Structure 1
Amino acid sequence: MEIDYSNIKVIGFDADDTLWVNETYFREAEEKFADLLENYETKNKIDQELFKMEMKNLELYGYGIKGFMLSMVESAMDISNNKVSKATIWEILNLGKKMISHPVELLDGVEEVLQKLSGKYRLIVLTKGDLLDQERKLERSGLSKYFHHVEVLSDKKEENYKNLLDHLEIKVEEFLMIGNSLKSDVLPIVNIGAKAVHIPFHTTWKHEEVPVAEQTNNHLTLSAILDILKYLNN
């Protein structure tokens, strides 16, 4: 399906796993968490229980590393029947701290794309997660100079996008969202009448997966962010 981008004036970029690596570090932390609790359960069971705890706590803590840390601690207590040692709890907390302090690793082609598009379009960041952590990552990335606005949302549902576009006085038909998540960056955007580009990341959090029956083809899917220049930088 041919999609016309000629009327686009504002481009929104997701941050985690669109501009820089993120989910990979969560998977690594989960592996180490399972290793810490291997005396209590199997790795598969530990992974399942941690995910359940994250989902249980999502409304309370929101998205991001800090909520993930708290869910790991609570899961460790549940899985061990409150027998987990203080030393292990400290190791779990340190897993989260290392994630927070991890250097920002830009994905290939990101800065080149932003350089070329920033002169023609108004660029904004629309991401989920912890405000402080996302602001910190953006600063470390060296990319903040390319963006007119940065918004850290509590969630990325249709209503969140509608309210933000209205607040920023952006017309739906002039907006394009680029991100790695069908659930958060593509489907809600298409449903409100804007355009979206999906650039899948090799690792997807289970919570962001979308059943095949709910997927659509009314958006562009690219294998790399550099490919967007074929459609926008004319």
Structure 2
Amino acid sequence: MAGKLTTIGFDADDTLWHNERFFRITQERFADLLDEYTDPDHLMDRLLAAEKRNIGHYGFGIKGFVLSMIETALDVTEDRVPGPVIRALIDAGQDMLQHPVELLPHAREAVEALTGTHRVILITKGDLIDQERKLAQSGLGELFDGVEIVSDKTPAVYAEIFTRLGDGPETGLMAGNSMKSDVVPMVEAGGWGVYVPHGLVWEIEKAEAPDQSERYQTIDDLGALPDLVKRIEEG
């Protein structure tokens, strides 16, 4: 095992494969369905507020997103939303749950490059069935030494996972596209947090970068991760 890093964690959605763009497409469809009741900007503000309220009830994922859309549709129409609109929202959610998995550039190469020298684990949050489906379709499942599907990503969650599957967060690294979920809590847990930007970011996943920490790093894409790991270990 490497001296300074023994365990590498990867986020899944929008780090290894596309995800947020399907939410954006569905939001556009949502706006079209409700265009006679309210303008798109107001509708999206109401939807975001509903999602924030509902995370504690439904967790992260498509099912909670659909329920938040239905709630928002009821709110903006004062409970007068037509049945066919509700049906269309349910259909949209089912479409999202069946979308094919498309890997992001360098995803497979990065995971494969690190499997021979480190423990490699997947840490993702969201609906259990949907995340398992995407992992199976990705073809990456056999590369991971462990897979964790969690309800949220916090410093305590990272500390527990990297202790149980590795040698503690201090010798762990987490790479992902969410500053709030993948980077900041891992750094706070004592590990390395590597930000891999993605063009589309859910508003709820935005946070200030931990610029003052030497354990915060950013790369353009996953293709740069193996070399970054080597630099950290040599540094």
Quickly name the TM-score band, shorter chain normalised. over 0.9
2:152 matched to which residue of 1? Answer: 155
CA apart distance, 1:216: 4.2
Counterpart of 2:91, as a letter, is: N
1:44 matched to which residue of 2? Answer: 41
For 2:163 and 2:108, locate their aligned partners in 1 and report how far apart those are by CA, in whole Å.
28
2:17 matched to which residue of 1? Answer: 20
Counterpart of 2:50, as a letter, is: M
Tell me if structure 1 keeps the 8 A contact 2:128–2:149.
Answer: yes
1:137 aligns with 2:104: no
Tell me if structure 1 keeps the 8 A contact 2:106–2:222.
Answer: yes
CA apart distance, 1:192: 1.6
Counterpart of 1:182, as a letter, is: M
1:84 matched to which residue of 2? Answer: 81
Which of 119, 124, 128 does residue 121 from structure 2 map onto? 124
Which of 48, 53, 71 does residue 50 from structure 2 map onto? 53
What secondary structure, in the 3-state scheme, does the structure 2 residue paired with 1:200 have? Answer: coil
Which of 167, 172, 194 does residue 170 from structure 1 map onto? 167
Runs (4+) off by over 4 Å: 214-217
| 5+ long unaligned stretches in structure 1 | none
For 2:191 and 2:171, locate their aligned partners in 1 and report how far apart those are by CA, in whole Å.
7
Q: Under a length normalisation based on structure 2, what TM-score does the superposition of the two structures give?
A: 0.93
Against the structure 1 CA distance between its residues 112 and 161, is the aligned structure 2 distance closer, same or farther, given a 3 Å change threshold? Answer: same
What secondary structure, in the 3-state scheme, does the structure 2 residue paired with 1:136 have? Answer: helix
- Alpha-carbon RMSD: 1.6
1:200 aligns with 2:197: yes
1:185 aligns with 2:182: yes
Counterpart of 1:23, as a letter, is: E
1:32 matched to which residue of 2? Answer: 29
| 5+ long unaligned stretches in structure 2 | none
Counterpart of 1:29, as a letter, is: T
For 2:45 and 2:212, locate their aligned partners in 1 and report how far apart those are by CA, in whole Å.
29
- How many correspondences in the alignment? 229
1:102 aligns with 2:99: yes
For 1:211 and 1:113, locate their aligned partners in 2 and report how far apart those are by CA, in whole Å.
26
Q: Under a length normalisation based on structure 1, what TM-score does the superposition of the two structures give?
A: 0.93
For 2:224 and 2:189, locate their aligned partners in 1 and report how far apart those are by CA, in whole Å.
25
Counterpart of 1:198, as a letter, is: Y
Counterpart of 2:19, as a letter, is: N
CA apart distance, 1:90: 0.7
For 1:91 and 1:217, locate their aligned partners in 2 and report how far apart those are by CA, in whole Å.
46
For 1:194 and 1:217, locate their aligned partners in 2 and report how far apart those are by CA, in whole Å.
10
CA apart distance, 1:229: 2.2
